[in-house]
Amino acid sequence: MPSTTSIDGVLNLDKPLGMTSMEVVRQVKRLTGQRHTGHGGTLDPGATGVLPIFLGQATRLMEYLLEGEKEYVGTVRLGVATDTFDAEGQVTSQRDSSGVTREMVEEALEEFRGVILQTPPMYSALKRQGKRLYDLARQGVEVEREPRKVEVSRMELMEWRPPDMVLSIQCSRGAYIRSLAHDLGGILGCGGHLAALRRTRSGVFRIDAAVPLEGLGEAGEGGGWERYLLPVDFPVLHLKSVTLNPGEERMVRNGQGVRLSPHTHSSEHGEGCRAYSLDGRFVAVVRFNRPLRLWEPRKVFQLAAPSPYVREGSLV
């Protein structure tokens, strides 16, 4: 039976092919009985892989995951371009790609490494004057899109089996892998589209630890889905941690800044720190206010159980 009490934590799911991210969220809601639920970054229906699902108080940390780096394995098919830049769209052009060599591909990939300007595809969830771009695209309307800066820290050729290539990609938030595939085909002069995509990492969530949605459902039938639940603080394990004494904990819970240790004042902790009580409960994410020289609460949590991660990355 689904739980009737509020449960806080994160599920690292392996999204199956053919489902939208919101359909996965709806299935998790039905399975767990948890209403306050969200996902940590959209995957298209044609993509699979890491899709963290946040429950209860953990939903307040989704922004940290959305800002984090992602890793993908993508298959690009040369010679065929589509209007959606992936296999779901209508074919817009077909050209002979037999002249493309591995050396040409390796040279073209150089254009996509580092900070680049990328124009978002029309088939995307971005809005223009209150309307989703994909809704406009389905009406046959194309509007000008402003190129955006994205960072591709890795784009490597894993396999070359013409007309397909398999790429390993690590990139920042906002990068469209479909657009990378489309633009790569353009540089090679034959067109191309994203034939398959698998997200292998999103922030601290990795595919080797992800649970298939089917497996979660099977565990849920016996009421055992909670064994896959990760603690609320798991998405922010990249932050250092500090321990609050009872007085500091009380001040943080009341929204007040605290001084903490002078060792935590360096600029490298600009994103903030994880703050814990003496008994190991995750209390808050705090951020240093340099002019006031105080650590101020940014997100405060009311959790009963101690976290197993209290000492990881500790500053004290």
In this predicted model, what pLDDT tens digit does every residue of 126-166 receive, in sequence order? 777 777 877 777 877 777 788 899 999 999 999 999 999 99
* pTM exceeding the 0.85 threshold for the entire prediction: yes
Of 8, 44, 83, 86, the catalytic one is 44
pLDDT of residue 314 exceeding 60:
no
Domains 70-194 and 239-300 alike in fold: no
What are φ and ψ of residue 137, in 5° steps?
-60, -40
Convert the pLDDT of each residue in 246-272 to its tens digit.
Answer: 999 999 999 999 987 655 544 444 568
96 is catalytic: no
Angle between helices 102-109 and 177-187 (to 10 degrees): 120
Domain extent listing, the chain: 9-67+204-230, 70-194, 239-300
9-67+204-230 — its CATH code? Answer: 3.30.2350.10
Q: Does domain 239-300 have CATH number 1.10.3720.10?
A: no
From residue 121, give the alpha-carbon distance in Å to each of 68, 189, 204, 235, 255. 21, 19, 27, 29, 42
pLDDT at 267: 44
H/E segment holding residue 243: strand 240-243
Q: Does domain 70-194 have CATH number 3.30.2350.10?
A: yes
Q: CA 138 to CA 141: how far, in whole Å? A: 7
Residue with tokens 């052009």, as numbered in its chain: 93
